[in-house]
Structures are given as structure tokens and as C-alpha cells.
Amino acid sequence: MPTINVQLFEGRTQEQKRAFVKAITEVTVQTLGATAESVDIIIHECKRENWATAGKLWSDQE
């Protein structure tokens, strides 16, 4: 059973997340031969203040 963990900044709509998990599930089924029912996707939403790249918080880059 594939379990896919995704980390995203907060702010996506429910509609965007629904479309995203549908697309990821379809690709996983096509590429790994898994059944859709066996694909779990966990979305971790992070605040920009809790994520940094190159030593800078994303909240400081807005």
C-alpha cells in the first residue's frame, strides 16, 4: 500500500486539494500498478513561518 506524504504551505482550497489527491492517486495507480483503494495520501500543511529555504523563512520572503 503506497502512502504518500506531501508538505504544502497553507492556503490551498479544498477543491485544489481534491484535484491534487485525485491526480496523485491516478499517477500512482498507473506507475506502480497499485489499486486506488490502496493509495493513502497525507497532506501536511505548514505555515510559511515554519518553513525555511537557504536560511530564510518563507514568511520573510513575501
**pLDDT at site 1:** 87
Q: Is 30 a catalytic residue?
A: no
Side chain identity, residue 19: A
In angstroms and rounded to an integer, the radius of gyration of the C-alpha atoms of the chain is 15
Residue 37, classed as helix, strand or coil, is helix
Structure pTM? 0.86
Among residues 1, 2, 7, 13, which one is catalytic?
2
Task: Please say whether the dihedral angle defined by the alpha carbons of residues 31, 17, 10 and 38, taken in this order, is positive or negative.
Answer: negative
**3-60 is classed CATH 3.30.429.10:** yes
pLDDT of residue 23: 98
Q: What is the pLDDT at residue 62? A: 66
Residue 19: phi and psi, rounded to 5, are -65, -40
pLDDT of residue 59 exceeding 80, the answer is yes
The predicted-structure confidence for 6-45, as pLDDT tens digits, reads as follows: 999 999 999 999 999 999 999 999 999 999 999 999 999 9
